[in-house]
A and B are shown apart, each in its own frame.
Chain A
Amino acid sequence: MHDGRRMVIASADAAAQAMGLRAGMPLAQAQAMRPGLTVIDADTAADAAALRDLAIWCQRYAPLTAADPPDGIRIDSTGADHLHGGEAAMLADLLQRLARNGLAARAALADTPAASWAMARHGPTPATIVPPGGTVPALAPLPVTALRLTTDVSAALDRVGLETIGQLAATPRGPLVRRFGEGLMRRLDHALGHSFEPLEPVPPTSLIRQRLTFAEPLLTGEAFPNIIARLTRAVAAGLERRGEGARRLDLVFERVDGRMQLITIGTARPVRDPPYLAKLLCEWLETVDPGLGVEAMTLWVPLAEPLAGEQLRVLPSETQATDLGPLVDRLSNRFGAARVYRMAPVESDVPERSAERRAPLDPAPGLAWPSTLPRPVRLISPPQRVEALAILPDQAPAFFVWRRHRHRIHRADGPERIFGEWWRRDAEMRAVRDYWAVEDLDGRRFWLYRRGDGIERITGDLSWFLHGLF
């Protein structure tokens, strides 16, 4: 590599380092030390491209990653570490995977990007984790070069005897700024988390992404619907070329002050109808605060699924069954996808397990609940303990007390005996419940059960529970 004056070594592998060669050493000196040295010309463009590819690969850990040339990758793992079993496990996994691919790497995780940069390069171990709030003590013993300073600034600091970040942080700021300029203090603030350092994430190239930048920052939200319409049209065209439909859309508003705002919508099935997608996005516009102005908007499709070409409906009379997709999308975007569901039968006799939630548009399983057994409209969960008295173990109770109110039982139907599902839980090995549908003197109906079959103690303790209301 040529540094402007002479050829120097750009980087040296482990074997070369063992011979005493260092990055930055003039090539002539190196060749004098080791005659017959293999020299490969540095290809910075290819390095940068490879680093970018590696940054995209790192998106397996967290969605926001950025290449940090010449040799670093930043991963914003906020909220993503639990997916990999914690921070330590995530770093270990990262280093192990890189090592398997022949890459020697050091990793660090800290509160600020600059701090993790410093710890990764100058930290004590190859994988360092700085606990939240522990940035200042962790950085204090590191040399000032860990602040990404230019060589002349670090040399000047060295001359005045400021060697570690701790010393630097303890020195009054005023004289330092006068002597070394604003840049030094900015680096220090970035490292210690006093100021925010933006990360410019790489978008995965395989994703469909449309970005619009504006000549003038948009101060009010009035123009947003038009821009969203343009973006969705462009994205839909991209989706159509690939034969896909969007399942999720992220719309990023980049504000003048460097902050970003995000609208995320999901759809129940792949969609690429621009007006429809625009409508879903516009429903969230009121949550966007343009602040001092929005200078760019980006629409991406993080999740897409195959969607076949659309059949034009030729005859107007061809009315199809009502399409629930749009309604499900609106409801799940408003209330959350987990809050819109269907209940479907499950092969289980235990009432609380006999129905499970399913996604709204899932095909229904070919099961049905037994129609002859009485089932209550309201299931009380967990079942409430009631005081009840039955004359004989195989008879319905004569009365029960629920919420301090005594219900005398007029009619009853039962028992319906339900055995515990021992294959699910050990505690249910011998458990038995006897269910009774009972009606009190006012005609209200309740669903009671007694633990145990009344013969063997191990099946239950004969206590009564209210499990539902008819």
Chain B
Amino acid sequence: MNTLSTTHSLAELRQTIARLERQNAQAADRRNLPFGLEEIDNHLPGGGLALGCLHEVADTGPGQEHASAAALMVAGILARISGTVIWAADRRDLFAPALAGVGLGHGRILHVAAGNRVLLAMEEGLRHPGLAGVVGEVGRLDLTASRRLQLAAEGSGVVAFALRRSRKSADPALAAPLAAVSRWRIGSLPSAPPVPYAPKVQGLGPMRWRIDLVRCRGAEPASWIVEACDAKGRLRLATNLADRSLAPPVGKRRAG
């Protein structure tokens, strides 16, 4: 009798949860933003980055402290969504001209110097439908907090990015489980010569990143090598060799 009622109530509970989740999913009216790169878009469920969700982006290696590649990539994504962006941070080292350089103009960003209450600022922003997105530069983020953000994002349909920063490089705290829909790691790679057929010419071409999708709901982990966002926030797959620009991209490989 006892076990029966337990299983019964468990089943009931599962049904309720399923119903709640469906409601959430419907309310969010999930949309996707394609990267414009077939290799990445085909890999992601829904053909692009899911909007109305929380995504985690961090740099790899020593760049983790400043998360500058991650910031640039997020800015590039948000540049392709119209509307205002809330950018909450505790440090004031973000330099707006660089964001304008990937297409996210100064008129579209509302900065919040949130001190140690970045998560609160993100949640406030996520309650406001009609924004392009919310970015929070956070160090500490646990499962509960990320679930809160995820629910808030589902409720309003605004995309949220947790930009992880840590003073330590390879901080284990950045690997703790999160309720984020996808988790990305951006690492820098030596870039190609600016003039492919004349490698001796000095100068800098576009930055080259290795993008790792370490976790994604509904997709396998994967990694790609891309060239950093251009002035309109678009990525480009990197060609491996300077003199074979038409060669098929060989950067794609499985990492999991």
Which A residues form the contact surface with B (CB < 8 A)?
322, 324, 326-328, 330-331, 334-335, 339-345, 351, 354-355, 357, 360, 364, 368-369, 371, 374-381, 396, 405, 410-413, 437, 439, 441-445, 468-470
Q: Which of B198-213 contact A (CB under 8 A)?
A: 202-204, 207-208
Q: Which of B27-35, B65-73, B141-149 contacts A (4 or more CB under 8 A)?
A: B65-73
Segment of B8-16, B38-46, B109-117, B215-223 engaged in the interface with chain A: B109-117
Complex: A340 Cα to B113 Cα, angstroms = 6
B202 and A442 form a contact (CB under 8 A): no
Q: B121–A335 contact, CB under 8 A?
A: yes
Q: Which residues of B contact A (CB under 8 A)?
A: 61-63, 66, 68-69, 71-72, 83-84, 86, 93-101, 105-107, 109-115, 117, 120-121, 124-125, 128-131, 188-191, 193-194, 202-204, 207-208, 231
Q: Known: A330-B124, A374-B204, A378-B68. Contact between A470 and B189, CB under 8 A?
A: no
Q: Name A469's contact: one of B68, B99, B107, B128 (CB within 8 Å).
A: B68
A322 and B111 contacting across the interface, CB-CB below 8 Å: no
The answer, among B84, B98, B129, B204, for a CB contact under 8 Å with A439, is: B204
Given A327-B125, A443-B191: A340 touches B98 (CB 8 Å cut-off): no
- B-chain residues with CB within 8 Å of residue A443 when the two chains form the complex: 188-191, 207-208
Chain B residues with CB under 8 A of A357: 111
Q: How far is the CA of A183 from the CA of B93 in the complex (A)?
A: 61
Closest B residue to A367 using CB positions? B106
Closest to A470 in B: B68
C-alpha gap A328/B120 in the complex (Å): 14
Interface of A, secondary structure class, is mixed
Q: Is there an interface contact between B207 and A445, defined as CB atoms closer than 8 Å?
A: yes
Q: A339-B113, A411-B191 are in contact. Are A379 and B202 (CB under 8 A)?
A: no
A334 and B124 contacting across the interface, CB-CB below 8 Å: yes
In Å, the complex CA distance between A331 and B124 comes to 7
Q: Would you call B99 and A377 a contact (CB within 8 A)? A: yes
A69 to chain B, nearest CB (A): 48
Most buried by B among A340, A355, A378: A378
B191 cross-chain contacts in A, Cβ below 8 A: 411, 439, 443
**Residue numbers in A under 8 Å from B83 (CB-CB):** 322
Report the nearest A residue to B131, measured CB to CB. A322
Q: A residues within 8 A CB of B207?
A: 439, 443, 445, 470
Task: Report the bound CA distance from A257 to B207 in whole Å.
Answer: 66
Name B190's contact: one of A328, A368, A374, A410 (CB within 8 Å).
Answer: A410
Quick one: closest B residue to A468, CB to CB? B95
Instruction: Return chain A residues, CB-CB under 8 Å to B68.
Output: 376-378, 469-470
In the complex, given contacts A326-B128, A342-B109, what are 16 additional A-B residue pairs having Cβ atoms less than 8 angstroms apart?
A327-B124, A335-B121, A339-B112, A368-B106, A369-B100, A375-B97, A378-B94, A379-B94, A396-B202, A405-B62, A410-B190, A411-B193, A439-B191, A443-B188, A444-B63, A445-B204
Q: Are A335 and B115 in contact (CB-based, < 8 A)?
A: yes
* Complex CA distance for A328 and B72, rounded to whole angstroms: 25
Contacts of B107 in A (CB 8 A): 342, 364
Chain B residues, Cβ within 8 Å of A405: 62
B63 touches A378 (CB 8 A): no
Choose from B115, B128, B231 the contact partner of A327 (Cβ within 8 Å).
B128
B95 touches A355 (CB 8 A): yes
CB < 8 Å: which of B96, B121, B190 contacts A355?
Answer: B96
Give Cα A375–Cα B100 distance, bound, in whole angstroms: 10
CA distance A117 to B124 in the complex (A): 49
Question: Nearest chain-A residue to B129 (Cβ)?
Answer: A322
Contact check, B188 vs A444: say whether CB atoms are below 8 A apart. yes
